[in-house]
Amino acid sequence: MKFFDKKNLMGKDAMMFGIGHDNPKVTDIDELRCDACISWDDKTVEPQGEISSKTIAGGRYVMFLHKGSYDKLHDIFAEIGDWIVESGVMLRDEPMFEKYLNRDPRRTKPENLRTEIYVPIEG
């Protein structure tokens, strides 16, 4: 079954992720790369075109929880950057990623949005 032929692809257990590959403080906005991801269990669905399958790398991560609007995520990323410097933790060569915890963010008040941010660390 082709990806876009599947109805109700996002079942009740689907998870949504964002994987940013660039730092917006050093990369022009037109050059930023990001993967918007959802999980699905139906093995008959085949990604096609610009849709591909990806597995997030295993290993050790530090998780930060952001409560509130997505447009305030930059604040927690600044705090994470400070924490990385202050803690002396070593990062792995993997991208950070965000896991969006609300089932339907369009129907969730901004102050009720929850986002986990995962930072890949050595060890």
**pLDDT, position 6:** 58
Q: pTM for the full model?
A: 0.86
Helix, strand, or coil (residue 89) = coil
121 by Cβ neighbours in 10 Å (0-12 / 13-18 / 19+) ranks as middle
Distance separating alpha carbons of residues 67 and 53, to the nearest angstrom: 29
pLDDT per residue as tens digits for the range 40-91: 877 777 788 888 888 899 999 999 999 999 999 989 999 999 999 999 999 9
What's the CA angle centered on 105, arms 19 and 59, to 5 degrees?
Answer: 30
**Residue 41 contacts residue 11 (beta carbons within 8 Å):** yes
Q: Which residue has the higher pLDDT, 113 or 23?
A: 113
